[in-house]
Amino acid sequence: MEIFVTKIPDLLIIKPKIFTDSRGYFFESYNKQLLKKHNINVEFVQDNESKSIYGVIRGLHYQIEPYAQAKLVRVLEGKVLDIAVDLRRGSPTFMRWHSVELSAENKKQFFIPKGFAHGFAVLSETATFSYKCDDFYKPDSEKGIIFNDPQLRIDWKIDLNKAIISEKDKKLPAINEAEYNFNY
């Protein structure tokens, strides 16, 4: 595995070493010791999976403290543009976002620490998205930011007039009105 540091502190892209032969491929998708070497000391307790069609945007979601979640995300089938927004007050990259294309082909993973809003847009006909969380889902602490917040100006790489957004996500507040309690 190779770990790449992004321009946002603690936000990492993980590229596995893939072994292929006539039978197919093999790669290590998770290695706690390697992550620990990069100061990622999380214990994942829940795995989630979703399947979506082209044009779906899910997010931007997070859970506030004390139930904030770190996530390790990847795509099992298809392709998405994955987005993380830094919500940690005091961070040098506060309110900035980073994107990475995750696909079944490139097998990259995105480590998103606590203190970030997260979302993705489906760029392929369908996509199966998988993620590990280091805390359980707590509906009362779930929060979010509207996907098309004008202050963030996120380029989702799809036509937003044709984007498929849940009713719940359409009602999320702008970043300046959102509730979050993270510190850097």
Contact between 55 and 63 under an 8 Å Cβ cutoff? The reply is no
Residue 131 falls in the annotated catalytic set: yes
Backbone φ and ψ for 123, nearest 5 degrees, come out as -105, -10
- Which of 108, 47, 115 lies closest to 81, judged by CA? 108
User: Which residues on adjacent β-strands are paired with residue 119?
Assistant: 59, 83
Contact between 57 and 129 under an 8 Å Cβ cutoff? The reply is no
Query: Which is the catalytic residue, given 98, 118, 131, 180?
Result: 131
Query: Which is the catalytic residue, given 38, 61, 67, 184?
Result: 61
- Which of 131, 129, 97 lies closest to 111, judged by CA? 131
Token output for 92: 């040098």
Number of C-beta neighbours around residue 65 at 10 A: 12
Element (H, E) at 34: helix 32-37
Which active-site residues does the annotation give?
Answer: 61, 131
